[in-house]
Chains A and B, each alone.
Chain A
Amino acid sequence: MVIASRRGHLLLGGAALVVALLPLVAGAYVLQLVSTALVMALFALSLQLLVGGTGLVSLGQAGFFGLGAYAVYFVQGKGAAASLLLTLPVAALLAGLAALAVGALALRTRGFFFLMTTLAFGQMLYFLIHDAPWAGGADGIFVQRPNFGLFGLDYVPARRDRPAVLLWTNLALLCAAYAGLVVVMRSLFGRMLQGIKENDHRMQALGHNTYAVKLVAFVLAGALAGVAGHQWAMTEAFVNPELLGWHRSAEALLMVLLGGLGALHGPLLGAFAFIGLNELAQLVTERQRLVEGLVILAAVLLLRDGLAGLRWRSRA
């Protein structure tokens, strides 16, 4: 996998700046849409660590995303809004622990089996939340947005400022996650992941415990998906079992493919392209599945290297 060159990062930084300044000019609707796209970008980025980074195609990533979202509900229950400083770590921890359990089993398999196993365990998490009496019901439930409380000094944004604050929060977390993954992929650990992607057996022959390395990557990706899910709950103030459903996992894979498997920043482009296309489709037709299906067909038939395959990249 490649990481964008210095010039590419300047462009990405510029794009982040434009997004950060959006609240000056855009209305609440656009801000909400961009907030959602930022959350999906974070979710797709977590999957890219597995797909592009390690060569593991997982179809259960939404399970961890949804658990992160439900963490908000589990922490506050029917009570008042909890602090982000509590809910966010809980979301990452919950999703990470689930990823540890799922990954420990699923990584005993390879290729198609890994795909099917992650899909099945992802659906298990879905049914767990869907059927559990303690999870708010099959139709979902409203949650209080986590606030920015610190030792009783709560900051609760005024209703008028909320879309901007949410956007900035999501943007900050996305930037932090991206920067973190750049560091991870450039580290020895990241190179081991690349080695496993190229040739797992050779890495084993070199004396690496590839199972453990892959498990660490799986847990890291799961925890990051949990953070993305948490931001979803914070942005929408609503959680439902569909967040864990495998269609969402497939959509995340689509964003990764749209953006390009070959580049760490691919999912960022892919998520924005996906949300943008969805929004366009809504304007044109009510048959969104038709549009989404045709877009995917076009992407797998025509767009082999994704949007990021186009330019400005350098070897990691």
Chain B
Amino acid sequence: MLGGFLAQLLNGVQYGLLLFLISSGLTLVFGVMGVINLAHGSLFMLGAYLAFAVTGAALPLWLALPLAVAGGAVLGGVLERTLFRRFRTREHLDQVLLTFALILLFEEARAALFGNDFHGVPVPAALDFSVPVFGGFAYSAYRVAVLLGCLGVAALLFWGIERTKLGSAVRAAAEKPEMLQLLGLDAQRLHTLVFAAGTALAMLAGALAAPLYSVFPGMGDGFLIISFVVVVVGGVGSIAGAFWAAMLIGLVDTLGKAYLPGVAGLAVYALMAGVLLWRPAGLFGRA
């Protein structure tokens, strides 16, 4: 019983960390560039299908991780330079529809390349065992690896944003976009960089998640919506907010599904409603 609870707790933390990887990119792009990217979930899907393609070619899964990061950075850079840059100052509606169009095009590309079936992605053989947790309860080693990997990326991200010069430029841009120009920083390059980083994070999350959730059409949608809930709960442009909100939502959703299956689907939305009533700007946002 306690072992089971601990396993669910670990599941929640692991899910929350994965959500953090996705929503940190979303909240940064959004805080720094003022662009809403509905196609962020599709980027996650691309990462997952990349992992599927890599393991399908009998290559080891870990190879997909650097590929996802590098591919994501390039794709993000190209998308920012060609499309998103022009839409920074456009109406929300235009941004919504542009990124909705990207979702449709990514889904079409996915259908053309991989078809419309569900596909499992095998857990790497080296991690295909269980670690005993507590009271004779075992926990998947791959999930532990994902948990640790996400934690590492999160730590790296925090360090980069809080402790480096580039990070302080990102924070300045999220706080007051005009500041960048005043400081003599190249805003355009920063935008490309942030967008590329956000895309790389989403694709990395997808590649890590592929063995856990398998890959299927429209898989980005669910993660996109939950990531929005994370951003709303955490507060815009705040990495710390995204982190704590992602953990909270990961735990609420996982524990809800395990112990209150009847209402679990609604639990995260009830949480969001509560936060909106209490602090409309999000837990870490300024009103």
Number of interface residues, chain B, beta carbon within 8 A: 39
Q: Contacts A112-B236, A120-B229, A120-B232 hold; do A250 and B100 have CB atoms under 8 A apart?
A: yes
A51 at the interface (CB under 8 A from B): yes
Shortest Cβ gap from A245 to chain B (Å) = 9
Give CA–CA (A81, B282) in the complex, Å: 46
Which segment, of A102-110, A158-166, A308-316, faces chain B? Answer: A102-110
> In the complex, which of the residues B92, B98, B104, B276 contacts A106, with contact meaning CB atoms closer than 8 Å?
B276
A261 at the interface (CB under 8 A from B): yes
Residues in A193-211 with C-beta less than 8 Å from chain B: none
Residues in A152-211 with C-beta less than 8 Å from chain B: none
Residues in A110-139 with C-beta less than 8 Å from chain B: 111-113, 115-117, 119-121, 123-124, 127-128, 131
Number of interface residues, chain A, beta carbon within 8 A: 39
Shortest Cβ gap from B100 to chain A (Å) = 4
A299 at the interface (CB under 8 A from B): yes
A109 touches B232 (CB 8 A): yes
Closest chain B residue to A56, Cβ basis = B92
A119 touches B228 (CB 8 A): yes
B269 at the interface (CB under 8 A from A): yes
Give CA–CA (A287, B36) in the complex, Å: 26
- Interface residues of chain A: helix, strand, loop or mixed (majority): helix
Residues in B80-131 with C-beta less than 8 Å from chain A: 87, 90-94, 96-98, 100-105, 107-108, 111-112
- Interface residues of chain B: helix, strand, loop or mixed (majority): helix
B266 at the interface (CB under 8 A from A): yes
Q: Contacts A57-B96, A124-B269, A299-B97 hold; do A293 and B104 have CB atoms under 8 A apart?
A: yes
A289 touches B108 (CB 8 A): yes
B105 touches A289 (CB 8 A): yes
Shortest Cβ gap from B174 to chain A (Å) = 13
> In the complex, which of the residues B96, B102, B112, B273 contacts A293, with contact meaning CB atoms closer than 8 Å?
B102
B269 touches A108 (CB 8 A): no
- Could you give, for residues 53-71 of chain A, a 1 whenever the CB lies within 8 Å of some chain B CB and a 0 otherwise? 0000101000000000000
Give CA–CA (A116, B273) in the complex, Å: 12
A interface residues, Cβ below 8 angstroms from B = 51, 57, 59, 105-106, 108-109, 111-113, 115-117, 119-121, 123-124, 127-128, 131, 246-247, 250, 253-254, 256-257, 261, 287, 289-290, 292-294, 296-297, 299-300
